[in-house]
Structure formats: C-alpha cells, structure tokens
Amino acid sequence: MIQSNEAGWNFNNSYARLPDPFFEKVEPDPVIEPELVLFNKSLAESLGLDSKKLESREGADVFAGNEIPEGAFPIAQAYAGHQFGNFTMLGDGRAVLLGEQMTPSGERFDIQLKGSGRTPFSRGGDGRATLGPMLREYIISESIHALGIPTNRSLAVVTTGESVLRENELPGAVLTRVAPSHLRIGTFEYAAQWGGEEAIKTLADYAIKRHYPELQEKEDRYVKLFEEVIDRQAALIAKWQLVGFIHGVMNTDNMTISGETIDYGPCAFMNEYNPATVFSSIDVQGRYAYQNQPPIGQWNLARFGETLLPLFHENQEQAVELAQNAHSKYEELYRSHWLEGMRKKLGFQNEAAQDEPLIDDLLSIMKKHEADFTNTFRALSMDKPEDTPMNDTPEFKNWYNQWQARLDRQEALKTSSYERMKQSNPAVIPRNHLVEGALEAAVKDRDYSVMERLLEVLAEPYAYSSKHEEYTKLPPACDRPYRTFCGT
C-alpha cells in the first residue's frame, strides 16, 4: 500500500457513505505486469499528487489496481439507464471508483480505474479493457478539455501485460479517469426504480450538496436542481455542436448531473459538415447523429425530471406541471448557448436580428459543398475565404459580403473580431485519421511518439501556430465511411 503522504493521495469518500444500494464494495483484479505508458503530469500536480512518485513502478501498480492507496475505498457504482431508448439495469461493469481526491484548493474529484476487472455489475463481461480504446479516450478527453468543454479527464494509461479477447487477442490496459463526479441521470433512474422516494431524496440531497450547494437552503431546491442540470446540459451540448463533436452514445447513463462530457466510446469529430453524420457502428438508425444531439439531450432530461417528481410536490399534477415548466426552457437555453457560441465563431461582438439567418445560410452552403467544419471556420478566422471549397461560388461570395458588412457595422475594429474568432474556432481537432494513426503506432509497434506529438498539438487548439499546419490537413479520400466502436 502506498502511504498518502508519499504520493499526495488525500481521499475523502463521500459517495461511499451513501446507503449500500448505491454501490458495491469491490477490489480491482491484479494484473501481471503493469507498465505506465501515458501519464498526465499537469493534471496530477493540479490534484495535489507527486508526479515523480507516480511515474515509478509503484505508480503503475496503483493505476493498474494492483496497489490501493491509503484512504481509498474501492467501489463499483450502481446505476440504470435508457440505452438507445430502452431502460435497463447497468452499473460499473469494468470500472472501479478508488475514491474522491481532495485537491490543495479544496476541490473534490473522483479517481476511477477503467478496465480494472469484473464487478458485480459486469453482466457476464470480463471487466477488462484493451489498449486502443483507452488511449483513444485519453486523446479525445484531453482534447475536449483543451477546447474548453467540461469533461472528465485522463490521468494515466497502463498496459497490463495480459491479452484481452475481443474479435482477436488484444493488449490489455487500464485507464485512470478523473471527474467532478460520476453521478448520472441513470443513477437517479436506478434510485427511482429500485429505491423509491427515500432513495431519490437521499441522492438528490447528495447531488445538491456536492455540486449545487447554493441550493441547499431553498424550499424549491429539487426543482432548482432540475433547472440547473437542464442549463448545464444545454450549454454542454451546444459546445459539442460548436466544434463538430459527436458523442456517439448519449444514453442516460452517459449524462452527468454536473454537466461534463463522460464516456468516450464511439465518439469522433466531424470533418465535412453534414448534420446527419454518425460514426458509431452500433447506431444503425442514427439516433445519436450530430443533428440529434440537442433533442436527445432534451429527451434524456425528461427522464431525469420523471425521477424527481415525488420531490417536486406531493400533488402529482402539480409536480408534473413544475417539471414541464422547467423542462420547456431547454430549447430556448440550448439555442441561446449555441447562438452565443456561433456569434463568437463569426466575430460578432453584439447581437443583431440578421445573425441567425446569416449563420443558417453559412451552414447550408457548407453542407451543399461538403466543406470541412473546422477548417472553414479556421479560414474565416484568418480571413482566407480562398481556403474554402466554396470560395468561387456566387452564393458564398454573396454570404461573405453580407458577413463583412455585418462586421463593419460593429463599433469594434475588424482586427478584434478576427482575434475573437481565433479564440473560438480551433485550428486543430483530433482528426479521426490522426487518432487512428497514433493508435496504430502505439498498439502495433509500441511507438508512443506519434501520440505524444499529437497530444502536444491538441493541447493548444487555438494557437494558430505554423507547426500545427500538418495537423489541419484532411484525410485522403475514402469510399468507406469512418466507423467507431465502443471498445467493450
């Protein structure tokens, strides 16, 4: 066991003090030969951890689950969820929550091992993870963080020295995730289905105390909780849309109460702008396509509201009315967050009536000409319309003239508008072909240099640096659509 004062571990495990039905005590399954292959030094230091100590063999043992730090209390969390619209019992089937790390600034973060072996919720699975998907989650989650989008983060990846059987034998790995919490809509669905009103109240009070302490003394705190979660999710999904991120599996068990991106399974970033884009191999109906993410968020939040009804009012009709009133604000909140972001992407520093038609016209032109989402806004930020495939078309020239006229009507100088755009439009994203190239080098050849260079670039997506130019290039044309997989 590593002593807390040796590595900086400072656990205070509030979730484990909830009643037993919300979790199962479980120990990670030891692995044969853990080796640390990725380690997030800056994140470790922000958590109050000793990065030098954790880069040792002892650190690899902790991140593999072979050693439990002092003060940790490993558990698997119980939750349910609507998966592709169908309700089912779930729980952490291949993840173990080591505990909650208290940082030097007093913040609380879950430290979770993903791929650490079977739990009571494994449902026949082996509880293990393979190297490729764990590295992929590390890349995408850290990129999402650098883009300024709320997310769980990745602290470390270790290989296990063991093979995991999927379609083929693949190298095993464990990912250490860091999150403000893992409270999900599905956690509340579990409480409502198997615990009743008392369990719902216990969980809601815990969520308020942990994430919304300003609500604790309010008489209508449970309605306010619902409203706060609605706003955070509306803001989160708007941020996804603004960078072309497609989550891929927006089940209710993958939506947090605190409003962060979680569960990087079959996610990816869109290249050419097409609202119907879907990457996940299992999403054959396109339920979680890019254009469906905002309404799916609203659908999921309705399921959350249903679990809270007994807390809203003792009269069911009045409880439903309160829930509907709160839920009805989602569309306006989402649109407001999205419009605010789009105005920044186009350099608008005030609001004008013609903004929405101008934004919609640009997106329509981009779709028609299969323009790359990221590179189009990058070109506009650099005032290089010639770098877009639409530049020679009459419709784009007309749009560009309208856009320039809109910028001219602002009091601010155009130079400040372009700077505003560069702060809102990433020059680089984790392009799917770049991610796949990094994963192939790491998994097949144990060459992590490709990934390290990619991570270095993605850490500064708004830098507009000349050294990043090669990472803005589009992949070679391919007849086959890009597909992602959940990795389970």
Q: Among residues 272, 412, 242, which one has the least CA distance to residue 344?
A: 242
Catalytic residue among 253, 263, 283, 372: 253
| 136 backbone dihedrals φ, ψ, rounded to 5° | -65, -45
Provide the angle, in degrees to the nearest 10, between the axes of the packed helices 394-408 and 414-422. Answer: 110
Burial of 411 (0-12, 13-18, 19+ CB in 10 A): exposed
DSSP class of residue 31? Answer: -
User: Which residue spans within 221-378 are E strands per DSSP?
Assistant: 245-246, 268-269
Q: How many CB atoms lie within 10 A of CB 109?
A: 22
Rg for the chain (alpha carbons), in Å? 23
Provide the angle, in degrees to the nearest 10, between the axes of the packed helices 432-445 and 131-146. Answer: 140
DSSP class of residue 480? Answer: S
* Rounded distance between C-alpha atoms, residue 240 and residue 344, angstroms: 15
**What are the tokens at 331?**
């569309």
Residue type, 484: T
Question: Is the Cβ–Cβ distance between 338 and 120 less than 8 Å?
Answer: no
Provide the 3-class DSSP secondary structure of residue 13: coil
Residue type, 365: I
DSSP class of residue 118? Answer: -
Q: What is the DSSP string of 286-348?
A: -TT-GGGHHHHHHHHHHHHHHHHHHHH-SSHHHHHHHHHHHHTTHHHHHHHHHHHHHHHHTT-
| 350 backbone dihedrals φ, ψ, rounded to 5° | -150, 180
| CA 178 to chain centroid | 12
**What are the tokens at 63?**
């991140």
Based on the residue annotation, tell me whether 253 is a catalytic residue of this protein: yes
* Rounded distance between C-alpha atoms, residue 321 and residue 351, angstroms: 33
DSSP class of residue 212? Answer: -
**Helix, strand, coil % over all residues of the chain, rounded to 5:** 45, 15, 35
Which residues are designated catalytic? 253
